[in-house]
Structure 1
Amino acid sequence: MNSFTRATALAALLLSAAPAFSQYVPPPPARPFPGVLNEKIRTRDVYLSAWDIGVNVRVRHEAKDDAGFTDAGSNWDFSQRPQDDNNNHYELLRLLPRVGYTAKKWAFLVEGRSSYSYGDERFNATTAGQGLPERDGALDAHQAYVFVGNHKEFPVSLKLGRQELVYGDQRLVGHLRWNNGARTFDATKVRWQNAIFGVDVWTGGLVYNDHRNLNRSNSQDRFSGAYFNFPTLAKNEIVEAYLLARNVARGIATDNWSGVAAPFRFPGAQDLYTAGLRVKSKPLAYNAWDYGVEVMHQFGSRTAVFPATTVAAALAAPRLDQDAFAAVLQAGYTWTEHAWQPRLALLYSYASGDKNSADAKSGTFQNLFATTHLHYGYMDLNSLQNLHDLRLAYTAKPKANISLAAELHFQFLDRPTDFWYNVAGVPRNFAGAAVGSGGGYRINPTYSRTLGTEIDLVAGWTFTTYAQLEVGMSHYFRGDYIKQSLAAVGSKDASYCYVQLTLNL
């Protein structure tokens, strides 16, 4: 607990001097900075500015106490049972070396990734957390793509190869760079852009992190989509619409990639389609006020076991008709005349849950490939599934190179007839506990829907052009659902802190 205490004191000191702020964004350097290597190369020869050569280095210490990413697994988050080791303190190191080149009508990027985890008990765990540390070996290919096109001269472009997909606020499609492994896809993407509308159309597969072999995608897990933007449809708004499809064949359950850790080895069979509309005000369009709305409908079908925990269960699981919804509403106010630019925002995120686990229908929204860390609390206890999240966020920048934030999350289950899902979208389900026994998480229709309240404090300092220090501290006050689910074994609140250093070399 010493590291947590120190982080708490530092965060309290930083936040005592000023208002905090919402939707935390790390502070940029004092001037545009391409990286240490790029700056040296371009200073010597201006004609080498088309090259991008550098390394992003990130080191982070994390201390998780009583919940989240531990040896016991998420089934025993907040548990007081003596045999549940739900504390985990460890260090993460990630290196992203890259070489890129941009010409007038084409470009390429090759980016490697080395991910290491030190002192992480999940690496040697023999229980639910086994094999889930954020390490991926000495070197792997994070991105490797070719881009052809120039939208100033022609409306169509092509991007082919391993690449990140990032859209909107990353609630459904994001790169998950907070995680030491991050996320990429082996994909083909075509873009059309003119003055009236633009659209990205892609198809490809998620790259599975395999710490024993080179990472690769699986042809039986396909992710496709069309993402539209309409620059002239509204004067003061960003308007986007999309249709996403994830198609996973049932035969994926028979694949044996031993280095890909269960229960995330492969998802259950599914043909899920998500249609959505996102509208967000442009910066300063309404003076100090801003707002955003996003609505999503999910349809298609998926297997009853999701994700599949055994091959037999995956092959035998019946199909469920999917009919699920999600929505996000947000509004904010920025004191634009104040030197610190403080901003207060209120955000509400909703994702439907299943009202009857015994029928042939599913109402549980699946949040696909989201960067959940950005939205539902820094402790990463939730995904956008069977959830109500009411978020109050307050931010400020006392200096151009310092950012501060304080956030408050009130969280509830949408339906007590569905599970509480962890950050990976996996249900907390201790099957050995009887309904209503208070001996573990599962579907308990008679329990409260109140999960709890999370408080997050974050501070970032870009102390030189190429280096940034970030500190965060969180505490989760458990609600009645957690207390009732663990009544037989006892429960306690959870805490989290981290200290992170990022270098742009």
Structure 2
Amino acid sequence: MKKWFYGGIPWMLPGLLLSQHGYGQFTLGAQLRTRTELRDGQGAPRTRGASPAFFTSQRTRLMAGLNSYRLKLGLTVQDIRVWGQDASTINRTTTPDNNGFMLHEAWAEILLTDTVSKNRRLSLKIGRQELMYDDSRLLGNLDWLQQGRRHDAALLKYETGAWTAHAGLAFNQNKENASGTVYNPLPPGNYAANTNGGPAYKSLEFLYVSRKLQQGSLSLLVLSDQFPAFQIDSTVTPAQKKWRAGVYNRITTGLYYTSQHDRLLWTAAGYYQGGTNGNGQTVSGALLSGYLQQAWSRQLSTGLGADFTTPDFDPLYGTPHKFWGYMDYFYVASPFAGKGLQDYYLRVKWKAGSRFTAGADVHAFFSAAAIDGYNKRLGTEADITATYTLTSVVAFEAGYSHFRSTPSLAKIKQVANASGNNNWAYVTVNIHPEWRIK
């Protein structure tokens, strides 16, 4: 029976179907990723005397793809849950807020130019998809989060050997309306907040242009996102937002540069953000970042970096976990009083053979703006991670982080009786097989 399942009729069916309608390659994949966490002050300083949290979350994904003549298709369904949230015999405890089964990706990419043109490609990608550009600081798939991030969008792509130009468009609605386009960005159910706890956008447009250089690349991003306008309904207690026609418009633009010479790698980025955010506030902010990395050998490299964000800047739809400490104190779901951030960090990476890698980061965090009655120092975080690849489809990862916080951080995080020592640890098992059928 085992031989029949893996090598027999079920795996032949996609190939037989494709042979009836033209040549193509069919891909099947799966992922099972568990993460066991000990949280003792993750996300914000813990209250003194509070007990640590301990749980295991699981991501289960099934992926399918088709690559045929002038057409690509991608499909990913996933289920995200915490071990034990359902009864062991029948699902009677899961509520809509806990229901983690969803369609993560469903897209088609159509090649608009003829296949005989090898150095110029124009294509249209439509549907639910991940958006990832440059270092994923402003647009990323947030893969660390078990549910990840995706967009319902249309993407026009023009690519040559040296140039990449992408234009994207998204327009969100809650349902098929009979009239009007009023959008509720916070409907009932399990809707994850955007970066820094902001509301979902109603519409989004962006242009991304990148040019390959001799030793690196230079890219430009211009992004505009619109949020539903609202008015405060004070006739109810507590007062609530009432969504109405009209939008608040925000624009973000800037450059990203990366280059390498011998074993020295450096990146730099600068972005400006203006307009009106999802809370109806006028903003004028900026982000500046720089990173320098030296590879001393094939096994060892060290890096030094700095990030600066003004109080008004919001890092859009990126991957904060990758940049501002693994304990997710900044620019995740928990705001920090809109004070902006200074982050100065050291990084060490070590690779022992082809299977084992380890890394350590140390961050010194400061507020970008003054905090009444307090200094700007927010704390220091140390992150240690290790990854062991058992096979091409099985990997293990573990990490430990410690955050030494200050009264200034407790003030802007609004945590009373906050502990100065905070810890977080995790162990991940990632199983990700893939099969290709021609």
- TM-superposition CA deviations, 1:80-134 (whole Å, max 9, x none): 2x5xx573221111111011100131110111011102368xxxxxxxxxx998x
One-letter amino acid of the structure 2 residue matched with residue 402 of structure 1: F
Q: CA deviation at 1:323?
A: 1.1
Residue of structure 1 aligned with 2:103, choices 141, 156, 159: 141
**Residue in structure 1 matched with residue 274 of structure 2 by the alignment:** 299
**Residue in structure 1 matched with residue 228 of structure 2 by the alignment:** 249
Q: Any residues of structure 2 matched to 1:52-201 within 5 Å, and which?
A: 52-68=27-43, 74=44, 77-80=45-48, 85=50, 87-118=52-83, 136-137=99-100, 139-149=101-111, 152=118, 154-201=120-167
Q: CA deviation at 1:379?
A: 0.6
**Residue in structure 1 matched with residue 420 of structure 2 by the alignment:** 492
CA distance in structure 2 between the partners assigned to 1:201 and 1:298 by the alignment:
19
Any conservation in 1 of the 2:155–2:169 contact (CA below 8 Å)?
Answer: yes
Any conservation in 2 of the 1:202–1:224 contact (CA below 8 Å)?
Answer: yes
**Residue in structure 2 matched with residue 4 of structure 1 by the alignment:** none
CA distance in structure 2 between the partners assigned to 1:415 and 1:132 by the alignment:
40
Change (3 A) 1:269 1:119: farther
Structure 2 residue 218 is the aligned partner of structure 1 residue 239: yes
**Residue in structure 2 matched with residue 472 of structure 1 by the alignment:** 399
Q: CA deviation at 1:403?
A: 1.1
Any conservation in 1 of the 2:203–2:227 contact (CA below 8 Å)?
Answer: yes
Structure 2 residue 310 is the aligned partner of structure 1 residue 352: yes
**Residue in structure 2 matched with residue 270 of structure 1 by the alignment:** 248
One-letter amino acid of the structure 2 residue matched with residue 493 of structure 1: N
SS of aligned partner of 2:426: strand
CA distance in structure 1 between the partners assigned to 2:172 and 2:363 by the alignment:
30
Residue of structure 2 aligned with 1:325, choices 271, 286, 306: 286
CA distance in structure 2 between the partners assigned to 1:302 and 1:164 by the alignment:
23
One-letter amino acid of the structure 1 residue matched with residue 389 of structure 2: T
Change (3 A) 1:62 1:206: farther
CA distance in structure 2 between the partners assigned to 1:220 and 1:496 by the alignment:
32
Any conservation in 1 of the 2:131–2:140 contact (CA below 8 Å)?
Answer: yes
CA distance in structure 2 between the partners assigned to 1:253 and 1:116 by the alignment:
35
TM-score, normalised to structure 1, is: 0.67
**Residue in structure 1 matched with residue 178 of structure 2 by the alignment:** none
**Residue in structure 2 matched with residue 22 of structure 1 by the alignment:** none
Change (3 A) 1:278 1:493: same
Any conservation in 1 of the 2:267–2:291 contact (CA below 8 Å)?
Answer: yes
Q: CA deviation at 1:322?
A: 1.8
**Residue in structure 1 matched with residue 203 of structure 2 by the alignment:** 222
Q: CA deviation at 1:251?
A: 4.7
Q: CA deviation at 1:209?
A: 10
Any conservation in 2 of the 1:156–1:190 contact (CA below 8 Å)?
Answer: yes
CA distance in structure 1 between the partners assigned to 2:40 and 2:187 by the alignment:
27
Structure 2 residue 327 is the aligned partner of structure 1 residue 379: yes
One-letter amino acid of the structure 2 residue matched with residue 450 of structure 1: R
Any conservation in 1 of the 2:24–2:68 contact (CA below 8 Å)?
Answer: no
SS of aligned partner of 1:275: strand
Any conservation in 1 of the 2:256–2:268 contact (CA below 8 Å)?
Answer: yes
Any conservation in 2 of the 1:142–1:163 contact (CA below 8 Å)?
Answer: yes
Change (3 A) 1:155 1:414: same
One-letter amino acid of the structure 1 residue matched with residue 206 of structure 2: G
Any conservation in 2 of the 1:449–1:480 contact (CA below 8 Å)?
Answer: no
- TM-superposition CA deviations, 1:391-419 (whole Å, max 9, x none): 10000110111110011010011002xxx
CA distance in structure 2 between the partners assigned to 1:247 and 1:277 by the alignment:
22
Any conservation in 2 of the 1:142–1:162 contact (CA below 8 Å)?
Answer: yes
CA RMSD in angstroms comes to: 3.6
**Residue in structure 1 matched with residue 88 of structure 2 by the alignment:** none
Change (3 A) 1:495 1:154: same
CA distance in structure 2 between the partners assigned to 1:190 and 1:411 by the alignment:
39
Change (3 A) 1:78 1:86: same
Q: CA deviation at 1:269?
A: 6.0
Task: Determine what percentage of the aligned residue pairs are the same residue.
Answer: 20
SS of aligned partner of 1:481: helix
Any conservation in 1 of the 2:34–2:56 contact (CA below 8 Å)?
Answer: yes
Change (3 A) 1:210 1:343: farther
Change (3 A) 1:107 1:67: closer
One-letter amino acid of the structure 1 residue matched with residue 218 of structure 2: V
CA distance in structure 2 between the partners assigned to 1:387 and 1:451 by the alignment:
9
CA distance in structure 2 between the partners assigned to 1:445 and 1:187 by the alignment:
43
The alignment of Structure 1 onto Structure 2 pairs a total of residues equal to: 375
CA distance in structure 1 between the partners assigned to 2:409 and 2:96 by the alignment:
24
CA distance in structure 2 between the partners assigned to 1:113 and 1:404 by the alignment:
29
One-letter amino acid of the structure 2 residue matched with residue 350 of structure 1: F
CA distance in structure 2 between the partners assigned to 1:408 and 1:132 by the alignment:
39
**Residue in structure 2 matched with residue 26 of structure 1 by the alignment:** none
One-letter amino acid of the structure 1 residue matched with residue 223 of structure 2: L
Change (3 A) 1:116 1:253: farther
- TM-superposition CA deviations, 1:413-463 (whole Å, max 9, x none): 1002xxxxxxxxxxxxxxxxxxxxxxxxxxx42211111000000000111
CA distance in structure 1 between the partners assigned to 2:309 and 2:200 by the alignment:
29
Q: CA deviation at 1:163?
A: 0.4
Gaps of at least 5 residues in structure 2 are 1-5, 86-94, 174-184, 234-239, 333-337, 434-438
CA distance in structure 2 between the partners assigned to 1:450 and 1:235 by the alignment:
40
TM-score, normalised to structure 2, is: 0.76
Change (3 A) 1:213 1:299: closer
Change (3 A) 1:448 1:269: farther
Any conservation in 2 of the 1:406–1:455 contact (CA below 8 Å)?
Answer: yes
Residue of structure 2 aligned with 1:280, choices 239, 258, 264: 258
- TM-superposition CA deviations, 1:218-276 (whole Å, max 9, x none): 99611221011112xx321211111011101215999xxxxxxx99x9xx963110011
CA distance in structure 2 between the partners assigned to 1:182 and 1:321 by the alignment:
29
**Residue in structure 2 matched with residue 504 of structure 1 by the alignment:** 432
